Amino acid sequence: MEPVFREIRSRERVNQRRVLKAFQLAGVAESDLSGSTGYGYGDPGREKLEQIYATLFGTEAALVRPQIASGTHALTALLFGLLRPGDRLILGAGLPYETLQRVIWGPAAGNLSEWGVDVEVVPPADDGRIDAAAVLARVTPNTRMIMIQRSRGYEGGASHSIDELAQVSRRLKAGAPQVLLAVDNCYGEFVEIFEPTQVGFDLAAGSLIKNPGGGLAPSGGYIVGPQAAVEQVAARVTAPGIGMAVGPTLGLIRSFLQGLFLAPHVVSEALQGSVLVSWVMEALGFGVHPRWDEPRTELVQQVILGDPEAVVAFCRGIQAASPVDSRAHPVAANLPGYRDPVIMAAGTFVLGSSIELSADGPMRPPYAVYVQGGLSLGHVALALERAIAELTQRGMVPQERWRAAWDRMGSSADVGSVGRREPS
């Protein structure tokens, strides 16, 4: 695993330098950290934070606000801010993340279809890559936006690297230059050394309780893109005529800035944790996507456990090894926005934060868990050890397999505590 870890840490250095430079370019000062209340007019910390995001994403403008409650909210603001009745939206990487399916087609009033936007889904090609030719074939004169989800999500598809996104944007811009290209960038920030908006995409959006909040932002979302487009989105988040000018940062600006400063390091720790989970779980005989040495463009690690009870046991192990709510017993439950019951293990300092270590899975075949986040590699190693112990106690990992994996792992210095001790 060491060469993979080294590569992740060298990307961390590049991103840390980019972030530091963007802070210095914006001229962040101690006096910017106090924040604003009420209307939040002329909040210098907020303005500099948005300038830093625009620099990092290579866009004209950014909207970064605590009033954006989640990634779904950020993406919804992007869609409703820019699409009008009669427009066509093409989802170019297949079905979107579950909560966005509700935004587009769901039973709740006010979704995008009710609004009169025509939405086309173009599945990826058989190799999992975006099918640019098929996307272009669906472009009509009314097509306003093509959106791509970078992360694999719960549909078990492939994630899309910056390299792939660069190729796709070239083809789409050549074939449909008038159409806006947008990315659901959740889980992708700082995993590679470029962001989608630096390789031809016009817009991106994501959540601050994932990568760019660095584990410190307690809420918030961002949208980056061309000035005029971001202003249109701001008119949805606040109100037309008020747009970006209003929006207090309350007491949060310090944690937004500090979290962003730490984000390259936290993402690096989480990524190394994902590699560790992949390596160990594959050694124990489970299916994993991606494999430990495959290139990564986002944090999510899928582990196919193949058994609903194993999903529950694994999640209970992660929960029991959490710093907060370690005594909680996660159970599968229906959550707003999700189709099947979902089990979620997350003993996090920020509720629902998935830059902190979390494991979750929908209760449906192939009974996979999705593991992501981790503020430190050491914690991921301890939690993985506990999750495997839960599986082993229930006879879900044969002893011989555990022993063979243990022998292999014993020789790797970077594994942390995993494998140093036999499960009880």
Ligand X SMILES: *Cc1c(COP(=O)(O)O)cnc(C)c1O
For residues 152 and 265, which CB has a smaller minimum distance to ligand X in the complex?
152
Q: Which amino acid is at 192?
A: E
From candidates 87, 184, 195, 356, binder to ligand X by CB under 6 A: 184
From candidates 153, 214, 215, 247, binder to ligand X by CB under 6 A: 153
From candidates 101, 149, 161, 302, binder to ligand X by CB under 6 A: 149
For residues 222 and 406, which CB has a smaller minimum distance to ligand X in the complex?
222
In degrees rounded to 5, what are phi and psi of residue 317? -65, -45
User: Nearest distance from residue 350's CB to ligand X, in Å?
Assistant: 11
Query: What's 199's DSSP letter?
Result: T
Sole window of 52-60, 183-191, 227-235, 380-388 interacting with ligand X (rule: CB under 6 A)? 183-191
From candidates 186, 271, 275, 377, binder to ligand X by CB under 6 A: 186
From candidates 55, 151, 238, 322, binder to ligand X by CB under 6 A: 151
Footprint of ligand X on 63-102 (CB under 6 A): 70-72, 97, 99-100
For residues 340 and 422, which CB has a smaller minimum distance to ligand X in the complex?
340
Token couple for 208: 């601050």
Give the C-alpha separation, 56 to 47, whole Å.
Answer: 14
Size of the site for ligand X (CB under 6 A): 13
| Of 97, 404, 101, the residue nearest 280 (C-alpha) | 404
For residues 221 and 419, which CB has a smaller minimum distance to ligand X in the complex?
221
Give the C-alpha separation, 158 to 130, whole Å.
Answer: 9
Footprint of ligand X on 273-302 (CB under 6 A): none
DSSP output for 275-312: HHHHHHHHHTT-EEES-TTS--SSS-EEEE--SHHHHH
Sole window of 82-90, 182-190, 341-349, 414-422 interacting with ligand X (rule: CB under 6 A)? 182-190
Give the C-alpha separation, 192 to 95, whole Å.
Answer: 24
Sole window of 55-63, 148-156, 166-174, 400-408 interacting with ligand X (rule: CB under 6 A)? 148-156
From candidates 53, 57, 80, 187, binder to ligand X by CB under 6 A: 187
Give the C-alpha separation, 275 to 87, whole Å.
Answer: 41
Cβ pair 298, 150 in contact under 8 A: yes
The Cα-based distances of 400 to 14, 116, 373, 424 in angstroms read 42, 58, 30, 15
Footprint of ligand X on 17-36 (CB under 6 A): none
From candidates 111, 207, 219, 278, binder to ligand X by CB under 6 A: 207
Cβ pair 202, 229 in contact under 8 A: yes
Q: Cα angle vertex 327, ends 325, 329, to 5°?
A: 95
For residues 69 and 166, which CB has a smaller minimum distance to ligand X in the complex?
69
Question: CB neighbours (10 Å) of residue 36?
Answer: 18
Q: Is the peptide bond before 212 cis (omega within 30 degrees of 0)?
A: no
Question: CB neighbours (10 Å) of residue 214?
Answer: 26
For residues 125 and 351, which CB has a smaller minimum distance to ligand X in the complex?
351
Query: What's 181's DSSP letter?
Result: E
Q: CB nearest ligand X: which residue?
A: 71
User: Nearest distance from residue 294's CB to ligand X, in Å?
Assistant: 19
Cβ pair 323, 307 in contact under 8 A: no
237-266 footprint of ligand X as x/- string (CB under 6 A): ------------------------------
Q: Which amino acid is at 422?
A: E
For residues 284 and 345, which CB has a smaller minimum distance to ligand X in the complex?
345
For residues 270 and 320, which CB has a smaller minimum distance to ligand X in the complex?
270
Residues near ligand X (CB under 6 A) are 70-72, 97, 99-100, 149, 151, 153, 184, 186-187, 207
